Amino acid sequence: MASLNQYSAGKRSEALKSKRVFLLLAETFQALGDSSRVQIVWALSKGELCVNEICDLLEMSQPAVSHHLRTLRNLKLVRVRREGRVSHYSLDDSHIDSLLREGITHVEDMIS
């Protein structure tokens, strides 16, 4: 990707870093690029929830929810707090909420 150097402050290390950033960035957006997962994230932006509650909210099977939570966890979009048998999920950091809000703003502008 030498042709991208002009965008990466000219340094090779910066170019490589950018490449890695792009890959992670794409994975992050992809994790949010699913109707089920984006609803999970949105629900979690209102507060902590356990797996069972998410299943009920989204009317989805437990394995499917666990699978999605794993995807979100892998990208550090959500985090778990285990309490006995119950796993409580919440957003991992404040950027996630900002990201969601920016996205909603764009989509709502798009609709109206």
Q: Which residues bind its own copies (CB under 8 A)?
A: 1, 3-4, 7, 20-35, 37-39, 42-43, 46, 56-59, 75-76, 93, 95-96, 98-100, 102-111
Map 38-81 to HEC letters: HHHHHHHCCCCEEHHHHHHHHCCCHHHHHHHHHHHHHCCCEEEE
Q: How far is the CB of 64 from DNA (least distance, A)?
A: 4
32 is a site residue for DNA (CB under 7 A): no
Q: For residues 61 and 98, which CB has a smaller minimum distance to DNA in the complex?
A: 61
Could you tell which of DNA, its own copies, none binds residue 9, using a CB distance below 5 to 8 A set by kind?
Answer: none
**Burial of residue 84, with CB atoms counted within 10 A of its CB: 0-12 exposed, 13-18 middle, 19 or more buried:** exposed
